[in-house]
Amino acid sequence: MKQRRIGNTTLEVSTVGLGCNNFGLRIDAGEPSRAVIHKALDLGVTLFDTADVYGHRGGSESALGRYLGARRKDIVIASKFGNAMDDAGTMKGASRRYVMSAVEASLTRLQTDWIDIYQLHRFDPATPLDETLGALDDLVKQGKIRYAGISAPGAWQLVDMQWTAHHHGYAALATCEVEYSLLARAPERELIPAMRKHGVALLPYYPLAGGFLTGKYRRDAPKPEGARITKGKRYEDMFMTDANWTRVEQMAAFCEARSHTLLDLAFSWLAAQPVVACVIAGATRPEQLAANVKAADWTLTPDELAEVGRITA
């Protein structure tokens, strides 16, 4: 698989990564997770994206720690902290005290000495930026993390964090996870220009719009049994608007005329964006992961990119 560098870091990762949010949901029945992890390694996937809250509060990290084994050194792990890890909502945030305890817990679950990319899951307005960034800088110096990042910030928040890091001489943010896809292009207005200016790489979540961009849905037809949107009305409300149905139908025709699938377009369009470091998507079966990897092989021409841009604008 093709490799690319993450922003201004020394890390190189596969074009397609593995989102691990489905791992650890049933921690004692881990065979599906192990099969997907091992398939990812066989396919050359080198970025595994997780978080302390994924699975059942630590379940995803624990699954990775259990099934990666000696292959941990061959891959890049991106994890996140800051969302609540207890029902009372006290184990959360970005204070120095919490950052230092959260990273130790993640390292233990992951069975590793370091996390390659450690990201604040949500901006924490209750904690001064210099406190959070100072803690992350100390973790870099201690070798417990290699780079820091943030998930879902506003453009001004990203710039504020980068300026604060520069002002204090702390390690700058290297990555930003944000919703970005053919149906979610809002980051192009402010956030992506800020990322380019400050050398921050984009790791897109919901690259398939909750599964809507897989091509398995048809307007006014029954939804496939067991699919994510079928099981959760939240995703239907988020993605299946009339405007998006029209875009998806136009993109499907675009793909069919070129002997490709909508899945191919969803991955390959993201891979064509210079700011995107790796297209991360979850998978519950090895064959699903293999399809995701293959989907990124389409090299879109400038004219094709322009046409897709007009469809999805």
Whether 8 is in a domain gets the answer: yes
Please determine, for residue 275, whether its predicted confidence score (pLDDT) is greater than 70.
Answer: yes
Is 104 part of any domain? yes
| Beta carbons of 78 and 49 less than 8 angstroms apart | yes
Tell me if 38 is assigned to some domain: yes
pTM for the model = 0.93
Alpha carbons within 13 angstroms on the beta-carbon side of residue 33 total: 26
Establish whether 67 is a catalytic residue.
Answer: no
Q: Let me know the angle formed at the C-alpha of 21 by 91 and 105, rounded to the nearest 5 degrees.
A: 35
Q: How many CB atoms lie within 10 A of CB 285?
A: 12
- For residue 227, the model assigns a pLDDT of 64
Handedness of CA 53, 238, 186, 190 (dihedral sign): negative
pLDDT confidence band for 138 (50 / 70 / 90): very high
> Is pLDDT at 131 greater than 50 in this prediction?
yes
Q: Domain total for the chain?
A: 1
Is pLDDT larger for residue 239 or for residue 30?
A: 239
Question: Which entry of 54, 98, 206, 235 is annotated as an active-site residue?
Answer: 54
The residue segments making up the domain with residue 133 are: 3-211+263-302
* Higher-scoring residue by pLDDT: 232, 184: 184
Compute how many other C-beta atoms are within 10 angstroms of the C-beta atom of residue 20.
28
In a domain, 14, yes or no: yes
Q: Is residue 277 part of a domain?
A: yes
For residue 88, what is the domain's CATH number?
3.20.20.100
User: Do the domain assignments include residue 220?
Assistant: no
